[in-house]
Amino acid sequence: MTTSLPFSPCKVDPEKTRPCRIFSGSAHPELTREICDYLGIPLSPSKTRKFSNDNIYVQLQESVREKCVFIVQPICPPANDNLVELLLMCDAARSASALRVTAVIPYLSYARSDKKDEPRISIAARLVADLLATAGADHIVTMTLHSPQVHGFFSVPTDHLADRYVFAQYLMKRDLSNTVVVAPDLGHAKPTSALARQLKLRMAAAEKQRIDDEHVTISRIIGSVRGKDVIVYDDEVVTAGTMVETARLLRKRGARAMTLVCTHGLFTGPALDRLKGIENLTEIVTTNTVPIPPEKRLPNMTILPVGPVFGEAIRRNLQGESIQPLFSY
């Protein structure tokens, strides 16, 4: 049983494509090069450095006048530096008379702050959306926001790309006849259901309560997992507290081998030690929306490329084609 991405790889057609420039922030130049390789477009040079007072300086080192500019920068650790660098690059492109500025943000960390669940706090996701528009971003391209409603925070067109095609293409190469897809919390049940349908599998869901940034409790599993292999599908793994508790309860409910699938593998703090301690965790499947250095790559970790998905979204935008098949609905 096989599947494929909802598009065929296709380089840009110079006769149909608007003149463009692609720049990389300092967060993830490897992903930007992957996107450029897919498109067959050279990476334009830029310079980023810090002044002695810790202010960030950026310079686009190629003319962008009347060009469509794409700036690739995930908002991953150090998130605040990477965000400010992206804002400065957008402003620099706008000030240099770019025709259109697109911020390509494979991972938007502030999407986790999507609601006012405590008194006197900022809804930071909305603030970041406003900052990007103010800085000059005319268009946003991102993938798998932590909360889908964050898409609506942007006042400029936003392409919210799906990850499930990448995962389905990989997972369908294995025997899934005795497998259940598990959402680690009820809030992630809808995207988990979409992946389960694509894999033609049943799903279950954990009921989670977050205690703080690093600790959660899982009270129950809704759905049968006894005697089943399970695929736990989450949008991001930071400290892996959710995974530890989910795995504990899945074992208690009789689940067998566990595969962790996550779009954004941050793996900060105690995450790697926690993941190593899950005895029935056979594989960790993630993507390269954020850089994963060698020291964070466990022996059972598989990193799938998303450059082709972002490259295809950019190509379709440049050539005025619909990108509906790539959307996360």
223: left (phi over 0), alpha (psi -120 to 50) or beta: left
Phi, psi at residue 103, to the nearest 5°?
A: -90, 115
Active site members: 208
Give the sign of the dihedral formed by CA 100, CA 26, CA 315, CA 145.
negative
Phi, psi at residue 89, to the nearest 5°?
A: -70, -40
Q: How far is residue 313 from each of residues 5, 6, 158, 317, measured CA to CA in Å? A: 12, 12, 11, 6
Interstrand relation of 216-222 and 202-210 (parallel, antiparallel or unpaired): antiparallel
Alpha helices in 136-276, H assignment, sequence order: 164-171, 189-199, 241-252, 271-276
β partners of residue 303: 286
Q: Which one, of 179, 170, 166, lies nearest residue 232 by Cα?
A: 179
CA distance 24 to 33: 8
Pull the structure tokens for residue 239: 């400290």
Q: Which one, of 143, 136, 140, lies nearest residue 153 by Cα?
A: 140
Q: Which one, of 133, 198, 131, lies nearest residue 164 by Cα?
A: 198
The answer to whether 138 and 156 have CB atoms below 8 angstroms apart is: yes
β partners of residue 21: 69
Radius of gyration of the chain (CA): 20
CA distance 125 to 113: 5
